[in-house]
Structure formats: C-alpha cells, structure tokens
A and B are shown apart, each in its own frame.
Chain A
C-alpha cells in the first residue's frame, strides 16, 4: 500500500476519525479492493430481467426509479386548512449540494395557487417616480443572473433542539426546512431603478398572489443588493410550490421573506409591520421582549449520514456525510467529532464552496462498534462558529422558536442505531 494511503488511514481525531484525504484521493485504492473482490465472485448464471429485453420507451419528462418512490417530503398541515403547513426535505436520502425540485421544502400559508403566467403581472409602486406593471413576457427579456444558493425557513431545526426532550425523528424531519438550488432571474435592482426609487425610501413590501396574499417588508439595502426575481429553479421554470411564475429570492435571509407568486412590490419609508413579520417570524426572548427583523440565517451544519433511520450494519469503515450553510457567506470549515465533542477533526469540503450555498462535507470514520456520539460544527467566512445547544439556550432561552442553529449530536448505539440526543 502506498505510503500516502497509510498516512491517510491515520486517525486525526478520537474514536476512529480518519484524515479527510481518504475520501478525496485515496478512495479508489483503498475502497476499490473490496469491490474488485465482488467482480471476480461467482459469475452470473442468468441475466437479470432488465437485460433480457428493451426497457420502456423514451418520454418527454423524466421520472425517478420506482425503487426510489419512498423518498418523500414529510408533510405537516392543520386539519381543515391543509394548504397551510410545511413539508420537510428528506435530507438523509440526498447527497451533494443541490436539492431536487420535487423534494424542495415547502411552507405555505394558504395552499399552492395555480397561476396562469399569461395573466400574471408584477406591480411596483409607492415611493417611485413611475408605478410600473411587468408581465412575464417582459420579465423574460431582462438581463438574468444564476446563483446556487440555499433557502431556509427560520423555523428550521426548532424540532431538533428546542423541545424539552429530544424528538427522535429523521434528519429531514428535524432539519429539512432547508434546500439549495440554482436560482435564475432578474436582479430586483434593475426594475427598481426603472421605476425610480425616492431617495427617502427605506423599505419595500413584497406581496404574493396566493390566497393569503402573504407579505413581508424587506430593507431597501437588501432589495438593491442581491435580491432576485427568480423565474427558474435548477434550470426549469419554478414549480408552483416554489412560486410559479415569479418569486422573490433573498439570499441568506429567512425563507419567509422570499415571497412566492410575487405580484406586488410597494416602496415605502418604513416597514409595513405585517402579520408575518410581527406576530409570527419574530423571536421571543426569556424576559418577554421580542426581537423583530432577525433576517440572516446563521451558520449551521448537520450530519445527514449516518443519521436516525440510517443504521450502521456492522463495525468498519464508513463515510460521514453532511451539509453546512450560512446566510453570511461561504463555509470556511466544518469539524466532525466521533467522541461526543472531546476531539474534532476537519472534514473535507466538496467543491464548489459557494456564497450562501449548501456545502457538502465528508469524513472517513472507522466505527469500532461501541456506543458513541457524533456531531459536526461549521464556521463561515465571516468568522461565526456554530454554537452548542447549551450556549444558545443560555443566551436566548427556549421560547424564541426561530433561527435555532445549535450543534446537532447523533447518538450511535452498540447496534448501530442512530438517534437525536442533546449533548
């Protein structure tokens, strides 16, 4: 075995964490050995059914394998108002940085409207020189940009860390209100410039064309900086669940502000104090006061594999895989611990590592079969480090509900079963 591979198999932190190079460059040499053995095993005596005749014909729009049909969002909505609720992305079943469109998380307040794009218009008005309508044909002619960025509901991960006792559910059910896509659309600043914004304006109010006419105020600085009027998601037109035919996209800010089915933008001097931004997406502190306008999503990471429901079948070499993201910019570093936080090793970050995008991290781990606790912690380029659950609760209590980003600990028991623990 080459010296380099031996070196990669050296532990970098306690309880079997191996050098990150193992899964970057050494994987073919080390892991290939096992599969080579399989290839020379007993020859197939008969052809599998899918090789005995041609498969199904071509189609205009693809579908996934029926064997993957179990990979589903977990839906939660109130009885009687089943269009008001959320669906969580099954993070434990996915890899890489991009969320497939049909598995992107949802949060709707009054169902998913079926909008005829030929009848949809955007109105920009308020403190502008000219109130302007834009139809979808017109918007399609504006200069567009494409960015791979995450969107996260600010209520994400609440279930993972804030209930009094840990809820044991899948990684997706606990952290799946985050997804990452390539968004393509028109920078909002171009349209605001065309309308001519009054220098005294400080905010915009964005409103959707769903039955809730859901609306949020957005600081003008953000609207003029990197706000996008998105028309495409991962190359195809937005799905109705993601705001077809037009949504606001505010990189790094809490998802509720990225208004779907966008119909109206009013330029204002002050925030409109909508129901969503005052009574819902605000953070109640222990002393009874409430923080308003906590927009950026803080740095966070979670190990998606192994995670609850993905048991380790036997001791041996495994790949720890997870995702990290920050509303402040790029992920700078992710560290993994396999001994309950006593020691940490640096995980490999998969390229590309992009601004406000999900970054995939991986780490080799030799599990010795004993019970332990694994966890990850991320740091972003702004220098922020993902805090422990204890530190967050000490600072903000447990009543705030939104913007929880504590370190997630998974317990691996002696049988390889994984569960959510507070550690």
Chain B
C-alpha cells in the first residue's frame, strides 16, 4: 500500500464508522388499513379526529355513567383529578391545574379520554360519546356553550384559556 492512499483509507474507515449500523431489514410493510386501525392519536391541529360529534348536553349523562365515580360532581374531583375550575390560580400560591385552567389544547382532551378512559375499560366509548364528554368538560370550564357541537371541524378551533402561557424549553436556546 502506498503511503499516499493511507489518508484516503482512514477517511473511508471513519465514514463507515459514523454511518448508522445496518439491520437485517425484517420490517413487514403495514397496509394503510392496518395503520388506520393502530393510529389512535389526535394531533393538536385536529389530524386524526374521527367522524362523529357531541354536545355538553349529551355528555352529561355519559359523564355520570363513566366518570363521576372517580372525578366527582361536575368534574370537581374525587378519587382522581379535578377537571374543572382553577381559572386564574396558576400565578398564585396555590395553583389548581385542571383541564380548563391549564391544558393548552382541546384536541388533547379528546385524545386522552379516548385512549385512556374510562380507567376500567379504555377505548370502549364511541367517538360520539368521546366528543360529548369533551364538550361537557369544556362547557363546565366555561369555554364553550352547552349545546355547542364538537366535531372534527370545531374541536381544533377551540382556544384553551391557558394556551399562550407555555414556553418551549426544547430545543435548548443558546444564551449568547
């Protein structure tokens, strides 16, 4: 080997070293139907919201049936989280973080109820029921009206009261 080609060889070795490791490529392609069935998430712009709709009026009996025993009368909290109230308390000495006072996106309310609730039987409610529960919690927090219909169009438009009070800590900012 000539000494002239040594730097080139080192460069090649380094390049290979920093390349990602190779796998055996055993992934099985998922069909769009399979992806749709697996993808239960809702993005803050509303992507993923299903057809269907509901109002607070419709949500109240659903809440009583599935949510009341843990979250109390009108979301005031019982065994588990308080869902309603706390508005204006975040800058005081005893902040109360609720769906109404704290959560930045209404879409997250739908997403969380659908993926996690009710605790004993998640993903068992219909999309209409989830829209109705979401509407009920937004209504109890004074954010929408009692007969305002929540659906894939209207829910992402709901402006949560605390929305503008979040500061992104990532990516890290240079102090210079």
Q: Which residues of A contact B166 (CB under 8 A)?
A: 278, 282, 289-292
Q: Are B169 and A292 in contact (CB under 8 A)?
A: yes
Kindly count the residue-residue contacts between A and B in the assembled complex, taking CB atoms under 8 Å apart.
166
| Bound CA span A284–B166, Å | 9
Q: Are A288 and B80 in contact (CB under 8 A)?
A: no
Looking at the assembled complex, report how far the CB atom of B35 sits from the nearest CB atom of chain A, in whole angstroms.
5
Q: Which residues of B contact A270 (CB under 8 A)?
A: 43-44
Q: Does B79 contact A (CB under 8 A)?
A: yes
Q: Are A134 and B27 in contact (CB under 8 A)?
A: yes
Q: Are B169 and A294 in contact (CB under 8 A)?
A: yes
Chain B, interface residues (CB within 8 Å), range: 35 or more
What is the interface of chain B mostly: helix, strand, loop, or mixed? loop
Looking at the assembled complex, report how far the CB atom of B33 sits from the nearest CB atom of chain A, in whole angstroms.
11
What is the interface of chain A mostly: helix, strand, loop, or mixed? mixed
Q: Does A123 contact B (CB under 8 A)?
A: yes
Q: Does A399 contact B (CB under 8 A)?
A: yes
Q: Which residues of B contact A293 (CB under 8 A)?
A: 168-170
Interface residue total, chain A, C-beta cutoff 8 A: 62
Q: Does B167 contact A (CB under 8 A)?
A: yes
| Bound CA span A125–B102, Å | 31
Interface segment out of the listed A17-25, A90-98, A212-220: A212-220
| Bound CA span A392–B1, Å | 61
Q: Which residues of A contact B168 (CB under 8 A)?
A: 292-293
Q: Does B39 contact A (CB under 8 A)?
A: yes
Looking at the assembled complex, report how far the CB atom of B65 sits from the nearest CB atom of chain A, in whole angstroms.
16
Q: Which residues of A contact B90 (CB under 8 A)?
A: 284, 288, 290
Contact of A284 among B22, B40, B95, B116 (CB under 8 A): B95
Interface segment out of the listed A176-184, A190-198, A244-252, A319-327: A190-198
Q: Does B21 contact A (CB under 8 A)?
A: yes
Q: Are B39 and A291 in contact (CB under 8 A)?
A: no
Q: Does B176 contact A (CB under 8 A)?
A: no
| Bound CA span A291–B119, Å | 28
